[in-house]
Structure 1
Amino acid sequence: MGTRPCERRAVRLAAGALFAVQTTFIAAAGVTAVPAGGPVPAPGAPVSAAAPGVPMRLAAPASRPRRVRPVWLGHTQAARRVQRAGLGLYSSGGCTDRRMRQCTSLEAIRTRTLRGAIRLKRRSGCPVTLTGGTEIGHVVGRYSHGNGYKLDVAPNACVDRHIIRTQPFRGLRSDGALLYGSPESLYARTPSHWDILFR
């Protein structure tokens, strides 16, 4: 038994309405719809108006670039990395509390800063001992110990020789310390230690 003309017309209207709802939903979701087998339009292109009944496939939305953010470590995690890399960690007070100046703390140290110290150890082949980290008692500022950008390293003949031979001399710091290196890795030789900045 055949369908009547009015019934066929109702079916076509229902199919068209369903397609319009699908197209509106796809557009609201920010996903581009294209006919199956057709080329994928550029991101941001309008939803294609394919005829009802044509199979549709969804083009993947353009991925947003990921922002790389600096990472800070806790003292225990940083100390483990220091130990694995063969660096020493010395505190005159025998403590790690960053709120006490006689301690040596790696709490909230930047991973980039820690990698710089490990790189110094590997490239120089020298014994490297950290004597200052993020504890109070250092000069404050954006690129400071407290913000995780600087470390103090105990001087020795091997470390001194490596830095002086491999890093360009940059003159004197305001406190008279000899400066070597670059803005990204700046080594300041104070009377008692190397004050090293890793940006």
Structure 2
Amino acid sequence: MRHLLVRSLIISAVATLGVFTAGAAHASVSGPEQDPVFAAPPGTAEIQVAKLTHAQATARLRAAGITWSSSGGCSDRNKPNCTSFEQVNLATIQGAETLKGASGCALNVTGGTETGHASGTYSHWNGYKLDFGLATCVNNYVRNNFTSVGGNQWRSGSGNIYYLESNHWDVTYYNCGGC
């Protein structure tokens, strides 16, 4: 009963802030998945997340001066060579906006919610991750401003994880990064 009351209060507070959309999806913390970055920050609660359409996400990215590209020159969520933002979390896009504003770096998104990425609760498909192309400015900003947690991973002050893969940054946004 207490769990339901606390959950209800949290949901009410978040809804009051206007975070929900009609098509909100449900996310919860679960055990390790196939994704290399699966651990939620301590204290992460079960929450509702606001989802964006591809058009809504690209409008926000464009306004922030963030570019995106795909090897296939497309945005179809069901094709792995496309870069799609369909069903991306609002907080994920806000996290990219926060990174752009804080770092002053040029950002190019090379991976969004399209198929072809690792599965898991905090996955690309579920709207929590973006891939950014490698750039000296971004590389230096992450390494100099975030905490190394081992395995080519850095944790931002807000708990988001920046994972340096062979040719891109794989970023898990648990929140908007201080938006």
Give the structure-2-normalised TM-score. 0.71
CA contact (8 A) 1:170 1:180 kept: yes
Which residue identity does 2:139 align to in structure 1? D
CA contact (8 A) 1:184 1:197 kept: no
Residue 97 of structure 2: which of 118, 132, 137 is its match? 118
Alignment partners' CA distance in 2, 1:194 and 1:99 = 22
Identity %: 40
Q: Does 1:104 align with 2:79?
A: no
Q: How many residues align?
A: 131
Which residue identity does 2:155 align to in structure 1? G
Alignment partners' CA distance in 2, 1:130 and 1:109 = 13
Q: Does the residue aligned with 1:144 lie in a helix, a strand or coil? A: coil
Which residue identity does 1:128 align to in structure 2? L
- Alpha-carbon distance, 1:184 to partner: 2.8
Which residue identity does 2:166 align to in structure 1? P
Partner of 1:189 in structure 2?
A: 164
Q: RCO higher in 1 or 2 (8 Å CA, sep ≥ 6)? A: 2
Query: Deviations for 1:93-123, whole angstroms, at most 9, x for unmatched residues?
Result: 0000010000000000000011111110000
Which residue identity does 1:163 align to in structure 2? V
Unaligned runs of 5+ in 2: 1-7, 15-47, 175-179
Alignment of 1:75-90 (within 5 A): 75-90=54-69
Unaligned runs of 5+ in 1: 1-63, 173-177
Partner of 1:131 in structure 2?
A: 110
Partner of 1:74 in structure 2?
A: 53
Alignment partners' CA distance in 2, 1:171 and 1:114 = 25
What is the alpha-carbon root mean square deviation over aligned residues? 1.4
Query: Deviations for 1:107-154, whole angstroms, at most 9, x for unmatched residues?
Result: 000000111111100000000010000000100000000000000001
Q: Does the residue aligned with 1:195 lie in a helix, a strand or coil? A: strand
CA contact (8 A) 1:179 1:187 kept: yes
Alignment partners' CA distance in 1, 2:71 and 2:55 = 18
Give the structure-1-normalised TM-score. 0.64
Which residue identity does 1:84 align to in structure 2? A
Alignment of 1:8-87 (within 5 A): 65=9, 66=12, 68=14, 69-87=48-66
Bigger mean CA offset, 180-189 vs 144-153: 180-189
